[in-house]
Structure 1
Amino acid sequence: MLSDIEISRQCELQPIENIATKLGLMKDEFDSFGETKAKVKLSSQRRLKNHADGKLVIVTAVTPTPYGEGKTVTTIGLTQGLDALGKKTCCCIRQPSMGPIFGVKGGAAGGGYAQVAPMEVLNLHLTGDIHAISSAHNLAAAALDARLHHESRLGAQAFTNQSGLEPLNINTDRIFWRRVVDHNDRSLRQIEVGLGQPNGPEHASGFDITASSELMAILALSRSVEDMRVRVGRVVLAESRDGELITAEKLGVAGAMAAIMLDAMAPTLMQTLSGAPCLIHAGPFANIAHGNSSIIADDIALKLADVVVTEAGFGSDMGFEKFCNIKVHQSGKSPDAAVLVTTLKALKSHASDQDNSDVTEPKQTRLEAGFANLEWHINNVSQYGVPVVVTINRFEHDCPKELAWLLQKVRASKAFGCEISDAFSQGAEGAKALADTVLAACEQPQHFKFLYDHGLPLREKLLTLAEVGLGAAGIELSAMATQQLEKLQAEGFGHLSICLAKTPMSISHDPTLKGVPNPFVIAVEKFTLNAGAGFITAHAGKVMTMPGLGLKPAYLNIDIDNQGNIVGLA
């Protein structure tokens, strides 16, 4: 079979204007960036606001494994399958970060014959939204350090006399706003800034990856430009020596940050290999942020399409949970159906840490043992009142007998249905059966419910998320986390959602606990306030907000040929 990039390049793509017209956009509602991508203007929201919404389908998965489950392949393939059945369909996915692209994960355009194309355009820069987030974020960091420098240099009274501004009295031990870059770079996790005269005052800082920036979460959760501007103003950057919160608004940098982000508020339109529309917008990771594409992209797509397919990061305990308890809470739009992706390889890998046999080889007993992980995720999605369709992403080495057993086993569970997907090898044709079942699931009565009452105190929300959402035996807070939680509740942030930052490799916060771990306690080390985004992050386990590059990173394979084509991107 051809490589993903070869398949993408051999496909004859339509002009992006045709895709925009197919979706239902007017000529003055998008700006083309060449022939293969366009920015969708937010003026389209005003025209479409009274249109009825289409059906919303969320794609999630079992607990991830190193083998890859094909969640994005399924998202794109399902979109192509629905389109082939005559349904006006659009998918909404996140913009890939270049950190994972050059690190381990590689690209995020799908694969095989279920891709967004051109795949190298999607994976590298696109229309620069992530760079805009980096720039806006780092402007706030620079502004904060500049204010600290001038107030320290002049003293409070002279500073006010010369600037006309009230001093903020920034506490250098309580500066929360670090810097960001869209690459994996472990050497920048902890740094000292302000070294040497006249660059101080010195203080500890560091870099996170741009996808973890609160501004990325704000981009994804804002309903409009006006909403974004208010949210950016609420971002908490530091504390004063008197313990007062210093926001971007108070620092006077919020307007400039919003100006940098303005063009990034418009989703990017591309197409699948079969010519189905796809909106790409925002890129928050699901292990450290909420892991979903934007509310704006969903809103536009839902007003124009019969069915919108979107994807949540990692497993149902991660991106799907956050989709429901953070994104739906803010958007008001619950999913009509969920698709849960699994593979034979994934289930075998969850069977036992002691079994080192090849997961591609038939082994019924190992598959049966690993089924517990899939059943847990089926039950997890079901408790939100969303009908769940399981899809088995087929690989060429899969055993037909094992596939038949798994189909029968899933159909006897709480799942609405189960289908095998051949979207990777067959594109739209290989996803038609899945598309049919998903359409039937979308017609079921709606009984969506949140996992917890957002009016509960923060500790009770976290406890419910741990015990009901993950099956934990409880929570354990460090002394610092206990103090932070009490302070956040007292300061009036108790109404915010909880965003649990943990490993995606286990239902628990311990990546070594496979399958369905039991018993376990969620140990929270610290909390981070995201007042603009509307959630509080609970850090459980060792989750890095700045990844590092491995021994053999993906960038080793990437180059350009003599014709200027990018090669080695997967």
Structure 2
Amino acid sequence: MTQPSDIEIARAAKKLPIQEIGAKLGLAPKDLIPFGHDKAKIEPEALARLDDRPDGKLILVTAINPTPAGEGKTTTTVGLGDGLNRIGKKAMICIREASLGPNFGMKGGAAGGGHAQIVPMEDMNLHFTGDFHAITSAHNLLSAMIDNHIYWGNELEIDMRRVVWRRVLDMNDRALRQITASLGGVSNGFPREAGFDITVASEVMAILCLAKDLADLESRLGDMIVAYRRDRSPVYARDIGAHGAMAVLLKDAIKPNLVQTLENNPAFVHGGPFANIAHGCNSVVATRAALKLADYVVTEAGFGADLGAEKFFDIKCRKAGLTPAASVLVATIRALKMNGGVAKEDLGAENVEAVRKGCANLARHIENVKSFGVPVVVAINHFSGDSDAEIAEVQNYVKTQGTEAIICRHWAEGGAGTEELARRVAEIADSDMSHFAPLYPDEKPLFKKIEEIAKRIYRADEVIADKKIRDQLREWENQGYGNLPVCMAKTQYSFSTDPALRGAPTGHTIPVREVRLSAGAGFVVVICGEIMTMPGLPRHPAAEKICLNDAGEIEGLF
């Protein structure tokens, strides 16, 4: 019998009206702004009423470095949330929204999988409630106003060679990485080099996800640096007069989106910064609201723990004053075998030795998460081809790392397949074992922060950067930005900057190619190796298989 696809499972879901999901959280119908029958935004007034409530326990789900074999971090996040509710806990899930770029490119959807999904899956992976379109519009409004200011006399004396604000589009399109704008004569402005990033790499996206409310959002938008004058002094978005109009475009986008799992448990899906080129976490507004509405909040951070968890701890938790109570590190036997040197086409054969070798990657992530003072449990996301010997190898190995590995069958069984994990995570969270602390203090110099992450998290021997990059970091420190955290932009596939270097490499070098100041978001982006802020499509993008069937239903989206 053929196993139904993710989209077929999602389409068969018995969804409750979104008002009933809100009622589970104590929210009245007037607290919700419905988008159809199965999704809604939360009114700011309803969120303001929650301020005096105690916070629930925050649980982070992270993973080993991603491989083509798949790890299932979002699926485990959803499965754990369902499992906690199944054992009688009041739990919520907080994840990011999906970007159209990877959905139509290579990665696929971001709503979970199998019987551990958030629905409506099709809407979540497409336009959803329009948040990304609002962010794209706000970002590009500022772009247009910068060029318009220059066209009408350039009163701010912007050096056109030093306009640092690029345009964005929520699509993978390598042809737009570097462009020439304003060609075509006098009426079109002054020609200059420009380019596009993907919307999820926009500083506007990062700001929306880190702002505490609409007023904070508008203030941060005004703080964004868009260009420099000839004397190298910065020009801010507020100098252009754009931040107010941008906030208007984002006034609904900042409201969290409420949806449900296949088991009718509540979930916030809000915000979506990339994890390899941005900070990779859902919004602070959604997370803080969930902590007031539920006793346990399960959230995730993008890609492996070297990127997602580090940024969750060092950027999101630091800036929002959050204290995670526990963490879950997701791995699959298949991915561990790939980290142990097995080719994708050979993953079906039992190979305990490769699992043992691949566990070096798992152990590195366990050690890293523990270094933040947060207790960690390993979730083995089960596949039907996993052998008992391979599973035992992982469980025995993890014991040597001072923790435990629990088999999870949520993909096939939903919340019933994560009950053991849910009980253990709740026990850890309730025991107050966490002694969370960021990796580095605010006052450490920016380049020292980069070195701290590279050496302690990536196990690199050194960081190399041109003199102009070091000088730029010192200049930002002199301008008062030295206390900001750093957001490392590098490949997600390896601890190094070489995506082919799997496992747990040591002795490598981290080359810093560029640094960007996100003054509004409140961090410095450090671009390493060959990472791109505008991805390209693969040879055969997922879009080739996405279509409507004869019944008008979407096929090929996963």
TM-score tier by shorter-chain length is: over 0.9
Aligned-partner Cα distance in 2 for 1:374–1:517:
12
1:393 aligns with 2:395: no
The answer as to whether partners of 2:111 and 2:118 remain within 8 angstroms in 1 is yes
After TM superposition, the structure 1 = structure 2 runs for residues 66-77 of structure 1, keeping only pairs within 5 Å, are 66-77=68-79
1:359 aligns with 2:347: yes
After TM superposition, the structure 1 = structure 2 runs for residues 29-48 of structure 1, keeping only pairs within 5 Å, are 29-48=31-50
Segment of structure 1 superposing worse, 439-448 or 531-540: 439-448
Q: Which of 186, 192, 201 is the aligned partner of 2:180?
A: 192
**Residue 119 (structure 1) aligns with:** 121
Aligned-partner Cα distance in 2 for 1:521–1:294:
33
The offset of 1:463, in angstroms, is 1.4
The answer as to whether partners of 2:172 and 2:535 remain within 8 angstroms in 1 is yes
After TM superposition, the structure 1 = structure 2 runs for residues 308-457 of structure 1, keeping only pairs within 5 Å, are 308-352=297-341, 358-415=346-403, 417-444=404-431, 445-457=433-445
The offset of 1:491, in angstroms, is 1.7
**Residue 210 (structure 1) aligns with:** 199
Aligned-partner Cα distance in 2 for 1:259–1:394:
46
The answer as to whether partners of 2:356 and 2:393 remain within 8 angstroms in 1 is no
Aligned-partner Cα distance in 1 for 2:352–2:553:
44
Aligned-partner Cα distance in 2 for 1:246–1:342:
45
1:145 aligns with 2:157: no
The offset of 1:9, in angstroms, is 1.1
Assess, with a 3 A threshold, how the Cα gap between structure 1 residues 262 and 418 changes in structure 2: closer, same or farther: same
The answer as to whether partners of 1:484 and 1:526 remain within 8 angstroms in 2 is no
Matching residue's letter, 1:36: D
The answer as to whether partners of 1:378 and 1:414 remain within 8 angstroms in 2 is no
Aligned-partner Cα distance in 1 for 2:239–2:149:
12
The offset of 1:11, in angstroms, is 1.4
Aligned-partner Cα distance in 2 for 1:26–1:241:
55
**Residue 537 (structure 2) aligns with:** 549
Aligned-pair identity (%): 45
Aligned-partner Cα distance in 1 for 2:352–2:488:
35
Aligned-partner Cα distance in 2 for 1:271–1:71:
18
Aligned-partner Cα distance in 1 for 2:85–2:430:
18
Q: Which of 242, 249, 252 is the aligned partner of 2:231?
A: 242
The offset of 1:356, in angstroms, is 7.5
1:537 match: secondary structure = strand
Matching residue's letter, 1:291: G
2:461 match: secondary structure = coil
The offset of 1:357, in angstroms, is 6.8
Normalising by structure 2, we get a TM-score of 0.98
Number of corresponding residues: 554
1:447-500 per-position Cα deviation (integer Å, ceiling 9, x unaligned):
111100111111211111111222111211123322321221222210111000
Matching residue's letter, 1:340: L
The answer as to whether partners of 1:295 and 1:331 remain within 8 angstroms in 2 is yes
Q: Which runs of 5+ in 1 are unaligned?
A: 153-166
Matching residue's letter, 1:383: S
Matching residue's letter, 2:436: F
1:173-195 per-position Cα deviation (integer Å, ceiling 9, x unaligned):
10000110110111111100110
The offset of 1:367, in angstroms, is 0.9
The offset of 1:204, in angstroms, is 0.2
Q: Which of 240, 243, 257 is the aligned partner of 1:254?
A: 243
Aligned-partner Cα distance in 2 for 1:558–1:479:
47
1:53-107 per-position Cα deviation (integer Å, ceiling 9, x unaligned):
1110000000110111000000000011011111111100000000000000111
**Residue 159 (structure 1) aligns with:** none
Aligned-partner Cα distance in 1 for 2:328–2:45:
32
CA RMSD of aligned residues (A): 1.2
Matching residue's letter, 1:525: R
The offset of 1:25, in angstroms, is 1.4
**Residue 287 (structure 2) aligns with:** 298
Aligned-partner Cα distance in 2 for 1:478–1:68:
36
1:492 match: secondary structure = helix
Aligned-partner Cα distance in 2 for 1:31–1:321:
34
The answer as to whether partners of 1:175 and 1:239 remain within 8 angstroms in 2 is yes
Aligned-partner Cα distance in 1 for 2:451–2:17:
51
The answer as to whether partners of 1:215 and 1:232 remain within 8 angstroms in 2 is yes
Aligned-partner Cα distance in 2 for 1:137–1:422:
41
1:482 aligns with 2:470: yes
The offset of 1:504, in angstroms, is 0.3
Q: Which of 209, 213, 216 is the aligned partner of 1:224?
A: 213
Matching residue's letter, 1:10: A
**Residue 523 (structure 2) aligns with:** 535
